[in-house]
Amino acid sequence: MTSDFEAQLRAVSLRVTRPRLAVLAALRDHPHVDTDTMIALVRADLPTVSHQAVYDVLRALTDAGLIRRIQPAGATARYESRVADNHHHVVCRSCGAIADVDCAVGHSPCLTASNDHGFVVDEAEVVYWGTCPDCATERSPQWSASSEGNK
C-alpha cells in the first residue's frame, strides 16, 4: 500500500516523506479523525514527529486534493481520504461519530440545485444529523424508563 501512497504523492508533485505516508495510512485505517487523533496515530509510527509537521502534512495533502477536510457545525475539523466523489456524511448528535453517505440516487443528484442563482455548481455538502446505533441503544432503556413514569 505504501507504493500506492507514494504514487499518489508523486502524481500531485509532492515529495514522498515519512510523515505524509503515515498520515495517508492513518486516514486509510481511521477515516474522519480530528487533528489530535491524527497526531497520536502518526506518532505510533513516527514517535518524534512534531505537531507542526502533522499540521503541515494535513494542509499540504488537503491543498493537493489527496484528502478532504470536513467540519460539521459545532464539531472540530476532521479529515478523510475519500475524495472526488461528492459523498456526504451522517453525524451523531450524541457522540459525534461520522459515517460516509453516498448520494441517494444516480450520479450526484444533489448537484442539481432547485435554484442555482447562475452559479456553476461542482460540489454539494450535505450533513445528516441523528443518533448513531450505539447511542440509540444506550438511550433506549432510559427513554423507556422515563416514558413509563409519564403514563
Please report where in the chains the cell 448528535 appears, as a residue: 93
User: Whole-angstrom Cα distance, residue 103 to residue 89?
Assistant: 10
Three-state DSSP at 33 gives strand
Please report where in the chains the cell 455538502 appears, as a residue: 125
Give residue 99's identity as a one-letter amino acid code: A
Parallel, antiparallel, or unpaired for β 78-80 and 68-70? Answer: antiparallel
Per-residue pLDDT, 146 = 42
User: Whole-angstrom Cα distance, residue 64 to residue 81?
Assistant: 12
Please report where in the chains the cell 413514569 appears, as a residue: 149
Q: Which of 126, 53, 56 is nearest to 87 (CA)?
A: 126
pLDDT along the chain (151 residues), means of 10: 88 97 96 96 96 97 96 90 87 91 67 83 84 85 45 40
Per-residue pLDDT, 56 = 97
Q: Which of 26, 66, 27 is nearest to 46 (CA)?
A: 26
The answer to whether the beta carbons of residues 86 and 103 sit under 8 Å apart is: yes
Q: Which of 28, 48, 33, 125 is nearest to 79 (CA)?
A: 33
Per-residue pLDDT, 108 = 60
Per-residue pLDDT, 107 = 57
